[in-house]
Structure 1
């Protein structure tokens, strides 16, 4: 019987040992998986941290770049407009070099006439109603209104 107990004991011992070995393998396998997972998670966290750092580091320069591109576009538009205005002024300068054009402007705006000519000024009665009239100022020549304004400016304060 001692041999049978020994066999049983030895089989039971073997089974127990086999179970412990299997459990140890399973436990080691799980630890390895968890270790791999934790390493991957650490790597992923580091990668995310690096990417976030890059995004934060590049955000301000990118914003500056975009805003400067907008400013450049606006300045180019202003430059084109200024170039057009320069062309208009060159054309006006060229026209002012012509004596006939200057004479026409003087006749239209200053009501100048040549010696021997008679000048006439025609007022539109409908236009008179539309103009602002202050004490008949619209009916007088502009220079009289100008001198009246200078005289009023020299007077001490008056109540209206």
Structure 2
């Protein structure tokens, strides 16, 4: 038995035992790592699948939300512009309620003159388009166009 005891405590035997124990630990560690890896891979795949499902499920509602927000912004801009237009029209209506403004516009647009005044129409020769009767219809006063229309209708009715 002395040989066995000596064998048991020899350096070579101890190194061999340490090597075997280390190999066993490494093997167990690798096995555990592989088990963890396989579990993590399965978990990761499940997590990825859940995330993809969420992305697919939320893509359409998010797109609708963004589109509706853009539409709301457009409608607010349109509302602001419409309110401004209403204010401008109210101002114009208030101006037309003033007799002096109405008289000014009537004189300007319809070429009216007050009794005792002499009316003149200044025409830019380069701007007027000549027609058969001289000035173009847009450059003449409105009443001239009416009378020309009456004259033409009267001439067409005669044999």
- Per the TM superposition, whether the score is higher than 0.5 is yes
Q: In the comparison of the two structures, how many residue pairs are matched?
A: 133
CA separation of 1:121 and 1:29: change in aligned 2, threshold 3 A: same
Structure 2 residue runs of 5 or longer lacking an equivalent are: 5-16
Provide Cα deviations, 1:31-69, integer angstroms capped at 9, x if missing partner.
432222111001011111111111111111111111221
Asked if 1:120 is matched to 2:119, the reply is yes
The match for 1:44 is 44
The match for 2:89 is 89
TM-score calculated relative to the size of structure 2: 0.66
CA separation of 1:49 and 1:144: change in aligned 2, threshold 3 A: farther
Alpha-carbon distance in structure 2 between the residues aligned to 1:131 and 1:28: 105
Provide Cα deviations, 1:84-111, integer angstroms capped at 9, x if missing partner.
1111100111111112221121111111
Map of 1:1-160 to 2, 5 A cutoff? 29-114=29-114, 116-124=115-123, 127-135=124-132, 136-138=134-136, 140=140, 141-144=144-147, 147=149
CA contact (8 A) 2:113 2:119 kept: no
Alpha-carbon distance in structure 2 between the residues aligned to 1:66 and 1:29: 52
- Cα RMSD over matched residues? 3.2
Aligned-pair distance for 1:78?
Answer: 1.3
Structure 1 residue runs of 5 or longer lacking an equivalent are: 1-6, 8-17, 155-160
Alpha-carbon distance in structure 2 between the residues aligned to 1:102 and 1:39: 89
Aligned-pair distance for 1:80?
Answer: 1.1
